[in-house]
Amino acid sequence: MPDAQKTGGGLLGAVERVGNKLPDPAILFVALLGVVWVLSWLFSYVSFDVIDPRSGENLVVQNLLAGSAITEFLSVMVTNFSHFHPVGVVLVAMLGIGVAEHTGFINAGLRALLNVTPAKLITPMVIVVGIASHAAADAGYVLVIPLGGVIFYAAGRHPLAGIAAAFAGVSGGFSASFIPSSIDPLLQGLTQAGAQILDPKVTLNPLNNYFFTTASSVLIIAVGWFITDRIVEPRLKRQEIDGDAEDLPEMKDLDEPERRGLRWAGISMLLGVVVLVATALPAGSAWRDTTGDISSFQAPLMRSIVSLIFLLFLVPGIVFGAVSGSLRSSKDVIDGMTKSMNSMAYYLVIMFFIAQFVYAFGQSNLGVLLALKGAAALKAMALPSSITIVGIIMLTGFVNIFVGSASGKWGLLAPIFVPMLMQLGISPDLTQAAYRVGDSSTNIITPLMPYFPLVVVYCQRYVKDTGIGTLTALMLPYSLSFLVLWSAFLLLYSFAGVPLGIQSTYVYP
């Protein structure tokens, strides 16, 4: 079938066709690594009148083609990969999920869920679960997004639409959350540090954007629901599902052994949650950090999220298999883990090259230069406050395409944006809210985001020739809609004077 017929016409069809002509993601990152090396060499001879907020000194682009830089790169190549955060997160979680999938626990659970969920509410349900997953750090990428495809496929809908809806909730709506998470105090701390550059007495509440992010979740669910059902899924009707039949879920009635297995698996899962809550509630709990906080990044509970997900699926998966009869020996447990690791082989190859690119891009200071120059240009324009807020959102969204880490990017931008806008009478709370909108909206269209290739792998389970262009075209309607409508929502929200969060303000001082 010609590409134009498979992908459709128009802008999205063009994006998909052009994107899929790009090299394999692994080769793309090799090429980008080469580009970073060359640019670092060229710009290392240029003097920039820009102060690096991390050191307080003039920013210097590091030449990665210098002999010392090359030898250093080779010496840390292994640790770049082995210590790359998304690698461990995905693999450990997938071990437990693999067992739950191999024994049939996930498949049976989803079929049971579909029996009680009206067909018209499947899309918003997937998006809501994606948004709720923010409380568990990066868990949504390895748990909710693939399940979105499974749920849609089991319901007789196109699985790529389910993956797109889940991806939109997990990543596109990253800052639209009705559940407080560890990202809130992290961003607040960076915002406060930026504000104290200008005013050492400024203090901010960790939930200074909570009311806005909660209201934003309603917007993201509504917009994501409309785009999935009215734009993305109709376009996918041309896309043939050609994945391996034996690996795809079947939609059939639960038999008695499966029902019995689900009951006992549910009981084991509930008992695990009860034990966790009971041991975490006491003030002196070992799950808390040294100050007694349970939600900080230093708290053992927050650092154990992925391990808990592993157990949350491993134990009920084994219980379901033992009760239903699908698990005959301990070897089946290992087979489930092995099968899940086999499916991750391509992802690991890509992650190796992404890890090297991320390291080189960070060492070169090119990302810092891009962020600082953009902020300086925005300040020089001296625009009205509402236009400035939109400018912050757009600039953040643009920088986010190249610098994926939310905390790392805000660590660079907060010392610039926050005091700059304070001088214009805009509060740190509002600046942080604007940053969160821009940071979330373009997550889902950049191949440089570490989890983007993983989502491509999820899609390839159903449509084998899925490429970067396919996923980008799927997510572009979400990204553009979120960027425009969410920006407008923030302006309307601020004009209405509704508090952004606890102890928050709109103006400074």
Each residue's pLDDT tens digit, 177-199: 887 766 787 788 888 888 886 78
Most confident of 132-136, 225-229, 249-253, 272-276: 225-229
Residue 199 DSSP symbol: -
Torsion sign (Cα): 55, 61, 63, 64: positive
Q: Residue 448: pLDDT above 80?
A: no
Q: Between 424 and 359, where is the model more confident?
A: 359
pLDDT-derived band at 4 (thresholds 50, 70, 90) equals very low
Q: Tell me what pLDDT residue 135 has.
A: 58
**Residue 283 domain-assigned?**
yes
Range name among 32-41, 55-64, 484-493 with the lowest pLDDT average: 55-64
Both structure tokens of 268: 């084991």
pLDDT-derived band at 119 (thresholds 50, 70, 90) equals confident
Residue 400 to residue 422: CA distance in whole angstroms: 23
Q: Between 346 and 250, where is the model more confident?
A: 346
Q: Residue 138: pLDDT above 70?
A: no
Beta bridge partners of 58: 51
**E strand or H helix at 235, and its extent?**
helix 233-235
**Residue 196 domain-assigned?**
yes
Q: Taking residues 282-302, what's their average pLDDT?
A: 84
Q: Number of helices (H) and strands (E), helices first, in the chain?
A: 24, 0
Residue 287 to residue 276: CA distance in whole angstroms: 9
Q: Residue 137: pLDDT above 60?
A: no
**Residue 243 domain-assigned?**
yes
Return the number of other C-beta atoms located less than 10 Å from residue 170's C-beta.
Answer: 30
- What pTM did the predictor assign? 0.72
Q: Taking residues 18-24, what's their average pLDDT?
A: 70
The rounded percent of the chain whose pLDDT value lies above 90 is: 38
**Residue 83 domain-assigned?**
yes
**Residue 507 domain-assigned?**
no
Q: Tell me what pLDDT residue 404 has.
A: 58
Q: Taking residues 295-313, what's their average pLDDT?
A: 80
Q: Tell me what pLDDT residue 260 has.
A: 94
**Residue 508 domain-assigned?**
no
Find the farthest-apart pair of alpha carbons in the chain and give their distance in angstroms, rounded.
73
Q: Tell me what pLDDT residue 351 has.
A: 79
Q: Residue 165: pLDDT above 90?
A: yes
Residue 230 DSSP symbol: I
When divided into structural domains, the chain yields a total of 1
pLDDT-derived band at 395 (thresholds 50, 70, 90) equals confident
Q: Tell me what pLDDT residue 358 has.
A: 79
Q: Tell me what pLDDT residue 451 has.
A: 84
pLDDT-derived band at 482 (thresholds 50, 70, 90) equals very high
For the stretch 219-239, pLDDT in tens is 999 999 999 999 999 999 888
The rounded percent of the chain whose pLDDT value lies above 70 is: 89
Q: Tell me what pLDDT residue 114 has.
A: 67
Range name among 59-63, 192-196, 408-412 with the lowest pLDDT average: 408-412
Closest CA to 177 of 205, 207, 215, 141: 215
Mean pLDDT of the chain, nearest integer? 85
For the stretch 500-509, pLDDT in tens is 998 899 998 8
pLDDT-derived band at 272 (thresholds 50, 70, 90) equals very high
**Residue 433 domain-assigned?**
yes
Q: Between 439 and 414, where is the model more confident?
A: 439
Q: Residue 417: pLDDT above 50?
A: yes
Q: Residue 18: pLDDT above 80?
A: no
Closest CA to 355 of 80, 141, 79, 90: 80
At 51, phi and psi to the nearest 5? -95, 130
pLDDT-derived band at 244 (thresholds 50, 70, 90) equals low
**Residue 167 domain-assigned?**
yes
Q: Tell me what pLDDT residue 246 has.
A: 54
Q: Residue 405: pLDDT above 70?
A: no
The domain of 89 spans 3-496
